[in-house]
Amino acid sequence: MLRRTLAPIALCAALAGAAPASAQTGDRLGSSWAQVNVCSPSQLGARAQLAGDGSESEMSVRFTAEWLSPDGWVPLDGAAASPWLPAGSAKYTWGQAGWTYDITVPPGAPYQLRAVAQLQWSGASDRLESQVSGTCTVGG
């Protein structure tokens, strides 16, 4: 089994909260996505972008780290879910947030990892959607 503990990483100032692409309102130029941005035997990092919709909603994201078990995708042991992370105001074109997990990969077989991001727009547009990152392989 994979053992992991949560540890937020220091993100650059532009990513700590909102990371607006522009101050335009009403235009939806960005798109929402999630990706793995750190993949090693000791860390799994995930990042998500939420598309703004011009509303006054606040955007946030929560990540869940998963590994591919013989029975399918399952959360890593321990607290696999991050806290809700602020990603800025939906009045901007987009906002981003990220989270890094400290993990311990047992020696031997390779493991496939991924992150599932729950994206939330709270306020006027109240909506929730999920994005799944690509996978990465560690160990082996």
Q: How confident is the model at residue 58, as a pLDDT?
A: 96
Listed by start position, the domains of the chain span 3-134
On average, the pLDDT of the chain sits at: 81
- pLDDT in the model for residue 125: 64
Query: Residue 56 and residue 77: Cα distance in Å, rounded?
Result: 37
Query: What CATH architecture applies to the domain 3-134?
Result: Sandwich (2.60)
State the Rg of the chain over Cα: 16
pLDDT tens digits along 101-118: 999 888 888 999 999 999
What residues contact 47, with CB distance under 8 A and at least 6 apart?
A: 15, 34, 35, 37, 96, 97, 98
- For the cut 70, the answer to whether the pLDDT of residue 69 exceeds it is yes
- What's the rounded mean pLDDT across residues 105-134? 91
pLDDT digits (tens, 9 = 90+) for 24-38: 344 445 799 999 999
